Amino acid sequence: MSNQKFDTERLHAGYDPADHQYASSVPIYESAAFGFGDAARANGILGGTVSGYSYTRNGNPTTAVLEKRIAALEGGVDAVAVGSGMAAITYTILNVAEGGGRILAPTNIYGASLDEFRTLFPKFGIQFDFYDDVNDLDEVKKRLHPDTKAIYVESVANPSTEITDIEALAKIAHENGIPLIVDNTFPTPYLLQPFKFGADIDVYSSTKGINGHGNVISGLVVDHGQFDWANGKFPQFTEPEFTLGDEESGKQVSFVDKFGKGAFAARIQTKYVRLFGGLLGPFEAYLVLLGLETISERLEKEVANATAVAKYLAANPHVKRVYYSSIEPNNSLLPKYFPKGIGAILAFEASGSEKEVANILDNVELFSYLPNVGDAKSLIVNPTRTTHREIPSAIRAKHALNNQVIRLSIGLEDAADLIADLDQAITKAFNK
Ligand SMILES: *Cc1c(COP(=O)(O)O)cnc(C)c1O
């Protein structure tokens, strides 16, 4: 099954119908526990020598299809599906830096991530070094410390759509014996596969474009399987793990011993998901699998629609600036990272004051005013008052994010209707 193309794998990877009554749609295994059958099989499942399931907190057959499918789509070795994008990010950070250490991250990241990194992780002994321009490589090099455990970035910034130079950052990370972690939520694996540019771990809010229908909260951690966790900086992967060893013989085993290149995802599954909880439930996994089946067609049309909307906005006299790097003529990172386009999300700065912004929000009819992106339906939001409240105003100001900025997530409607809706809302807003 390996080496199939993206459009084939999004429908088939990780699922063998012969194991599931030849069901054409991945069955929902809505069961808390799974029978051991007999004592020998119980020993085998819990000892890891027989594949099977015991308890859904530790693993579920429906969720496992999603995990295998996303790993295949990304060119990774393994993946873990959890209850939200924030859970995926949290477990990833803890897994790489638990026990203390530093992480380097730009300030242009998702609001809840920035808030967690600034205010919560330090209470767990994990400190963050922040820098402002994601692609300022000199700044990155300057801020690495001997105990820096990872560089963490987002592939496309929200809402500016600024593109991150993943290859350059991966090179610096690897020269320093640390991994590059990429939140690739905005582009989805259809538009960008960070592993191709050297990223080591991808995290997703699959709530967004991967599922694409705005009906489930979910997160994914995907493991490239190329990073050397035994390089001396990450003892949690090389020290004996009680649950992997054999009590009777006294044999001790580490995550690297047992899982080799797949140690990162295996450790999240074995330690964080099993002990902290939060595995994505089978029904939610089913919905994400269903959404994923049409990811290519959705993203292709959403990019075309978003491009048409961005061009309309760029020509509107009440729009000061459009943030959509797909239409920037001289963006050198665009052809390298985003030949199929930057995605469904864009933003614009309206002229006038916050009053006109409120008028636009109050007058749109087709766009839904809510805090989400990547839905099949088009969405609108004023970030500084809603989604980006978690970001201190001083940091927002550094990224040109003021109260006149409006973010759009473009769906699958007819582009002409979306443009007509924005046009009537903007016209009304400025005639009041
Ligand atoms: C939404 C989002 C998250 C958080 O995901 P949840 O599923 O809401 O927990 C993280 N990163 C980015 C870029 C997001 O857009």
| Contact predicate 193/46, CB 8 Å | no
Asked whether residue 15 falls in the same domain as residue 144, the answer is yes
Give the CATH number, domain containing residue 79: 3.40.640.10
For every residue of 285-337, DSSP letters joined together read HHHHHHHHTTHHHHHHHHHHHHHHHHHHHHT-TTEEEEE-GGG-TT-THHHHH
| Contact predicate 425/360, CB 8 Å | yes
Q: Phi and psi of 117, rounded to 5°?
A: -70, -40
Asked whether residue 97 falls in the same domain as residue 214, the answer is yes
Q: How much distance in Å is there from the Cα of 40 to the middle of ligand 1?
A: 42
pLDDT of residue 432: 73
Strand partners, 406: 348
- Residue 254 in domain: yes
Asked whether residue 364 falls in the same domain as residue 215, the answer is no
Coil, strand or helix: which one is 214?
coil
- Residue 1 in domain: no
Say if ligand 1 is within 6 A of residue 183 CB.
yes
First to last CA, the chain: 60
| Contact predicate 307/326, CB 8 Å | yes
Coil, strand or helix: which one is 121?
helix
- Residue 229 in domain: yes
DSSP state of 33: B
- Residue 397 in domain: yes
pLDDT of residue 1: 45
Q: How much distance in Å is there from the Cα of 86 to the middle of ligand 1?
A: 6
Asked whether residue 287 falls in the same domain as residue 302, the answer is no
Asked whether residue 64 falls in the same domain as residue 213, the answer is yes
According to DSSP, the β-strands at 78-82 and 201-205 are unpaired
H-only helix segments in 223-281: 255-259, 263-267, 274-276
Asked whether residue 144 falls in the same domain as residue 253, the answer is yes
Residue pointed to by tokens 């609001």: 111
Q: How much distance in Å is there from the Cα of 372 to the middle of ligand 1?
A: 9
Give the CATH number, domain containing residue 323: 3.90.1150.10
Say if ligand 1 is within 6 A of residue 158 CB.
yes
Asked whether residue 270 falls in the same domain as residue 300, the answer is no
Asked whether residue 18 falls in the same domain as residue 88, the answer is yes
Residue pointed to by tokens 């190329």: 226
Asked whether residue 265 falls in the same domain as residue 398, the answer is no
Q: Which residues contact 63 (CB under 8 A, 6 or more apart)?
A: 81, 279, 280, 281, 282, 285
| Contact predicate 282/22, CB 8 Å | no
| Contact predicate 410/346, CB 8 Å | yes
Say if ligand 1 is within 6 A of residue 217 CB.
yes
Say if ligand 1 is within 6 A of residue 161 CB.
no
Q: From CA 223, how far away is CA 244, in angstroms rounded? A: 20
- As given in the structure block, the two tokens for residue 147 are 């105990």
pTM: 0.97
CA nearest ligand 1 atom 4, residue: 85
Domain span holding position 391: 296-431
- As given in the structure block, the two tokens for residue 14 are 């990780």
Low-confidence ranges of the chain (pLDDT < 50): 1
- Residue 20 in domain: yes
Asked whether residue 252 falls in the same domain as residue 331, the answer is no
Final residue in a domain of this structure, among 256, 291, 326: 291
Final residue in a domain of this structure, among 238, 271, 291: 291
Asked whether residue 333 falls in the same domain as residue 398, the answer is yes
